[in-house]
Amino acid sequence: MTSTISNNPSDVAKGKRDAARWAVASNTGLLLMKIVVGALTGSVGVLAEIVNSGADLVGSLIVYLSVRVSDEPPDETHAYGHGKIENLSGIATATLILTGGCYAIWQAVRQLIRPQPLQHLNWALGTMAVSAVVNFTVSQYLLRRGRDLDSPALTADGHHLKTDVVTSIGVVAGLALVRLTGFAQWDSLAALGVAFLILYVGYSLARDAVFTLSDRVLPPTEVAILENVLRSNKEVLDFHKLRTRKSGSHRHADVHVMIADTHTFVEAHRLTEDLEDQMRDALPNLHPIIHMEPYEDEVAHQKAYHAMENKSP
């Protein structure tokens, strides 16, 4: 497997922090700009975008804090490290997004029932266009760094900002229709579309975070890579009980490996070290644990165990 992920933990941690800082800076600038334009225009579409950008900023701050903590080494209270903090940040971000989406729907419905005239439409159109360009640029950067650094927090933030590009375009379309037709409700309808898309993004982020927090297995392609490493070693006669999970950007795998009964304890230990090194080379940030078993003895043990099971009432 070819990977661009660095094997140097300090480089990975620094890369995550730098990317998160860019997200915080861009979201801060966009939020301030939208607040000013929203106050000038009275557009509920821009208001929905203010709520969205506010959630973006808080989410990016959570991501920044989480990537700082998640790469801390294991300690006495967290023997397996702090990787799941990245996934917990996804839950927090999703909660903010869902709350903001519900608020935007409420405002859009209220404005749809009692529409208010909009002011300074050119400012609103220009702001949303700038927002779309900035969010697209930053989202591509976060997605690339999230992939390179194997960071679920950065990847989630990147997908979120990429969706914001669509929401900004939706607001632009609504405002443009208001300007062309004079029908103010187009702004509210666009805001509703944006709000429902916000809810979908929040749901998706929460779902992915819950999958990881519940120790879902690694993707089939990654499991296959580990299986190929084991099968390619001539000293491995068989293996079973391969279990995998992920914690933040850290992968964990444990497996029972069966080798010839004639191996000495020292030889079995050497083979364990070699296999664990090969597995780590195949998948970045992998923490493997291998339990060695003598082949013939284990087969006999399994036969005896199943025979006892069949006899039991």
DSSP 212-275: HHTTPPPPHHHHHHHHHHHHT-TT--EEEEEEEEEETTEEEEEEEEEE-TT--HHHHHHHHHHH
pLDDT score recorded for residue 193: 83
Burial 99-135 (b: 16+ CB within 10 A, else e): ebbebbbebbeebbeebeebeebebbbebbebbbebb
Give dist(CA 93, CA 87) in Å, integer: 10
- Distance of alpha carbon 229 from the chain centroid: 27
pLDDT score recorded for residue 291: 95
- What is the location of CATH 3.30.70.1350 in the chain? 220-311
More confident residue, 75 or 221: 221
Thinking of the domain 9-213, which architecture would CATH place it in?
Up-down Bundle (1.20)
More confident residue, 167 or 242: 242
Q: Work out the number of other CB atoms within 10 angstroms of the CB of residue 194.
A: 29
Residue 308 reports pLDDT greater than 70: no
pLDDT score recorded for residue 2: 41
288-304 average pLDDT score: 85
* Cβ–Cβ < 8 Å for 25, 307: no
pLDDT score recorded for residue 269: 95
CATH topology of domain 220-311: Alpha-Beta Plaits (3.30.70)
Per cent of the chain over pLDDT 70 is: 94
278-301 average pLDDT score: 89
Give dist(CA 24, CA 29) in Å, integer: 9
Residue 243 reports pLDDT greater than 80: yes
pLDDT band at 7 (very low <50, low <70, confident <90, very high): low
Query: pTM of the full predicted structure?
Result: 0.63
- What is the location of CATH 1.20.1510.10 in the chain? 9-213
